[in-house]
C-alpha cells in the first residue's frame, strides 16, 4: 500500500522507524527487534539507510521482511550524496524488484571527507536530484522527503529552506517527514509557513522519545533541535536514574503526540530506534485515542 493513501485516508496513523544493523553480527538482534515492532501492526514502518548508526547494507532485507512477513506497509530510505548515478540506479532497481514502492528520498549528510570537495564534480548535491531520478525510473513510486521545522543546519534561513522544500514537492514528493523537535509550537509555526508557501502535501511530525540521558547530547547535536526548559528539567531530574528517565521520556513523547492530535495532526511518525518496548508503550499510551478515530 502506498504511504500517501495511508496519510490521506482521514484516520489517525502511527508509524515507527527502525534502522539496519551496524555490523553483520548484530543482524539477528536487530531483526528480532524489528519484528517485535512489526507485530504491533503500526500504520507503516520506515527503515533508514545508513543513519542512526546502521549501515545501508541491510535496509532492503529488513524492509522486505517487514512487508512480506508481517504485512506492514514499508518505507525504504535511500540516500545519494556520496554515490554515483549508476550505483543509485542499481539500488532503485533492487528496491523495485523487492516489491517496495514507498521510498524516502534523501541526500544524506555530507561525509567529513567530502566537506572541502569541489561540489561541481559530485553526481548529487541535493535530494531533489534523487527525487527526479526516482520519478523518471518509475512514476508510480510514492516518494517522501525530509523537512526541518527548525531549518536544516546548512540553510541560511527558513525562507531559503522552504523554497528548496517546495522544489522537492513540485518534483513529485508526496509527503514530508520532519526532523525531531521537542517543542510543538515550532512545528505549528513551520506548518503555517509551508502552507503559506503553497506546500500542501501531508507532513508527518517525527517524534523522538528520549529515554536515556546519554541520548540527549547526540540527538540534539544531530538535529540541531531546541530543548525546551520543560524537557531540560526532566533530564536534570531523572537523567541519572535509567528507569525513571525512560518512563519520563516516553511520557514526554506521548504528551507531544496527544497535543499534536488534539491540534488536528493525524499522522505521527515515532523514531522508535529498534526499541520494541518503547514503541509498544507509546502505542498503548495512545490506545483509546487510536480507538476513537473521530477526526
Ligand atoms: P536536501 O533536501 O538536499 O537539503 C539539504 C540542504 O540543502 C538544506 O539546507 C536545503 O535547504 C538545501 N537545498 C536543498 N535543495 C537545494 C538546491 N536545489 N539548491 C541549493 N540548496 C538546496 N540520513 C541518512 O543518512 N539516512 C537516512 O535514512 C536518513 N533518514 C532521514 C529521515 C528524516 C525524516 C530526516 C529529517 C533526516 C534523515 N536523514 C537520513 C538525515 C538527512 O540525510 C540529512 O539531514 C541531510 O543533511 C539532508 O538530507 P535532505 O534529504 O533533507 O537534503
Asked about 17 being catalytic, the answer comes back as yes
- The one catalytic residue among 17, 129, 150, 174: 17
Q: Is 141 left (phi over 0), alpha (psi -120 to 50) or beta?
A: beta
pLDDT at 267: 97
pLDDT at 224: 86
Residue with the larger pLDDT of the pair 291 and 30: 30
CA distances from 71 to 61, 154, 282 (A): 14, 38, 21
User: Does residue 80's CB lie within 6 angstroms of at least one atom of ligand 1?
Assistant: no
Rounded CA-CA distance 5/139 in Å is 16
3-285, what's its fold?
TIM Barrel (3.20.20)
pLDDT at 126: 97
Nearest CA to ligand 1 atom 23: 108
Q: What is the 3-state secondary structure (H, E, C) of 166-196?
A: HHHHHCCCCEEEECCCCCHHHHHHHHHHHHH
pLDDT at 220: 84
How far from chain centre, in Å, is Cα 186? 17
Closest listed residue to residue 208, CA positions, set 30, 51, 24: 51
Distance 105 CA to ligand 1 centre (A): 9
Which tens digit of pLDDT belongs to each residue from 40-57?
999 999 999 975 555 678
Q: Is 41 left (phi over 0), alpha (psi -120 to 50) or beta?
A: left
Q: How much is the mean pLDDT over the chain?
A: 94
pLDDT at 295: 44
User: Does residue 90's CB lie within 6 angstroms of at least one atom of ligand 1?
Assistant: no
pLDDT at 23: 87
pLDDT at 194: 98
Nearest CA to ligand 1 atom 2: 127
Q: 155-164, 165-174, 286-295 — which is least confidently predicted? A: 286-295
Amino acid at each position: 500500500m502506498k504511504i500517501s493513501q495511508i496519510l490521506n485516508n482521514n484516520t489517525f496513523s502511527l508509524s515507527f522507524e527502525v534502522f539496519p544493523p551496524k555490523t553483520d553480527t548484530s543482524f539477528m538482534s536487530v531483526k528480532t527487534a524489528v519484528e517485535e515492532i512489526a507485530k504491533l501492526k503500526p500504520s507503516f514502518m520506515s527503515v533508514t539507510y545508513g543513519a542512526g548508526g546502521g549501515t545501508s547494507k541491510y535496509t532492503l532485507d529488513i524492509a522486505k521482511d517487514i512487508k512480506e512477513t508481517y504485512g506492514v506497509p514499508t518505507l525504504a530510505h535511500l540516500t545519494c550524496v556520496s554515490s554515483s548515478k549508476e550505483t543509485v540506479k542499481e539500488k532503485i532497481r533492487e528496491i523495485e524488484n523487492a516489491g517496495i514502492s514507498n521510498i524516502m528520498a534523501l541526500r544524506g549528510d555530507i561525509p567529513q571527507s567530502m566537506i572541502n570537495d569541489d561540489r561541481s564534480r559530485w553526481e548529487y548535491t541535493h535530494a531533489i536530484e534523487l527525487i527526479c531520478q526516482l520519478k523518471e525510473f518509475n512514476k508510480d513510486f510514492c516518494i517522501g522527503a525530509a523537512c526541518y521545522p527548525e531549518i536544516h543546519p546548512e540553510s541560511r534561513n527558513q525562507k531559503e529552506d522552504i523554497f528548496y522544500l517546495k522544489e522537492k514537492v513540485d518534483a513529485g514528493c508526496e509527503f514530508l517527514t520532519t526532523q525531531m523537535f521537542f517543542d510543538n509550537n515550532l512545528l505549528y509555526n513551520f506548518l503555517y509557513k509551508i502552507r503559506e508557501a503553497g506546500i500542501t502535501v501531508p507532513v508527518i511530525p517525527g517524534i523522538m522519545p528520549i529515554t536515556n540521558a546519554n541520548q540527549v547530547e547526540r540527538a540534539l547535536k544531530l538535529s540541531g533541535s531546541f530543548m525546551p526548559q520543560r524537557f531540560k528539567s526532566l533530564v536534570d531530574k531523572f537523567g541519572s536514574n535509567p528507569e525513571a528517565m525512560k518512563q519520563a521520556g516516553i511520557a514526554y513523547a506521548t504528551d507531544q503526540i496527544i497535543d499534536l492530535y488534539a491540534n488536528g495532526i493525524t499522522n505521527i511518525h515515532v523514531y522508535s530506534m529498534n526499541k520494541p518496548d518503547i514503541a509498544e508503550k507509546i502505542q498503548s499510551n495512545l490506545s483509546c485515542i487510536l480507538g476513537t478515530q473521530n477526526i
